[in-house]
Amino acid sequence: MDPLTQGTLGAALPQATANPRQAGAAGLLGFLAGMAADLDVVIRSSTDPLLFLEYHRQFTHSLIFIPLGGVICALVLHYLLGRRRGLSFGQSWLFCTLGYATHALLDACTTYGTMLLWPFSDQRFAWNTISIIDPLFTLPLLLAVVLAARMRKPVLARFGLAWAVVYMGLGLVQREAAEEMGYALAAQRGHQPIRLEAKPSFANILVWKSVYETEDRYYVDGVRATLRPRVFAGNTVEKLVLDRDMPWLDPQSQQARDVERFRWFSNGYIARDPVYSNRVMDIRYSLLPNEIDPLWSIELKPEAALRDHALYKTHRDGGPDRASVLWEMITGR
């Protein structure tokens, strides 16, 4: 999720275990440790644009890395902050470890995918219960953490954690409802999906993106899972078949290998862009839940040398018009 949410949840857990005098220090160390796992974004390569996709949410987000991550954070933060606030190294390590531990589990609740079991498995866990940014989740939690530190009342942080658990539970219920709507929509079309996923749209758990796969196509729709359910009919696109869609691509080339790397990252949900024929897009993500317009893709070049990499592209120019459409979907107008 976004850094503020990661840090806030990271602060809440150690605060909830601290005594009143340590509430501020525990929250500060937990806040910083709760964001630390995302330092993996610095792992990039000027010659391999897809390298960061393989390493983001990889070893730093693994469950087995949590104790070491806590130690690393404590070695830095104790001498910068913890010691000045009267904490022993053991206390700093505990607060840092608790804060660090929240990061990967929170990320796994989003749709992006997190390698919790690295190095034993490269599976990307995505439980699809919350958007990567959700003010309704973050703001009450942030308020609880700030008040717990200022008033020296760890019980307030516990209320914040309770809110986080309740909201995640609501997200789970909403995801199940959205999936049921997706299966019903597929049945109306005479389809039997090979697989179907529902993902929360941006910043809410009311409107969801339903994505399902048939033998040769993907179907994308928006659904509003409320007491007055509503379907926002979307689009469909053919699944990527390299021999058909890009017959010029050498199977032994680096670009072909990059397509397979992107397929792994996208959990198989890839297709050729219908507008830009040399782009391969991840259809799971778009600003509007009933669109196929991707937030990212890779671009291949027929004239590329055998060892040239595909280019990674981002597409985030939605503008105010799309934001207003999403707001209308959320509010049911």
The pLDDT value recorded for residue 318 is 66
Averaged pLDDT for residues 226-241: 96
What's the predicted TM-score (pTM) here?
0.94
The pLDDT value recorded for residue 333 is 76
Q: Find the helix or strand (DSSP H, E) in which 218 lies.
A: strand 217-224
- Cβ-based neighbours of 85, under 8 Å, separated by 6 or more: 22, 24, 25, 28
**Rounded distance, CA 23 to CA 17, Å?**
9
**Rounded distance, CA 45 to CA 94, Å?**
34
pLDDT in tens, 189-208: 999 999 999 999 999 999 99
- The phi, psi pair for 37, rounded to 5°, reads -60, -25
pLDDT in tens, 122-181: 999 999 999 999 999 999 999 999 999 999 999 999 999 999 999 999 999 999 999 999
The pLDDT value recorded for residue 288 is 95
State the amino acid at position 332 in one-letter form: G
**Rounded distance, CA 178 to CA 225, Å?**
6
Given a cut of 80, whether residue 316 has pLDDT beyond it is no
**Rounded distance, CA 41 to CA 68, Å?**
18
The pLDDT value recorded for residue 321 is 86
The pLDDT value recorded for residue 320 is 78
The pLDDT value recorded for residue 249 is 97
Averaged pLDDT for residues 300-316: 95
**Domain parsing of the chain, residue ranges:** 3-127, 173-333
β-strand partners of 230:
224
**Rounded distance, CA 159 to CA 161, Å?**
5
Q: In what order do the strands lie in the sheet with 296-299?
A: 270-272, 279-282, 296-299, 311-314
Chain-wide mean pLDDT for the chain?
Answer: 96
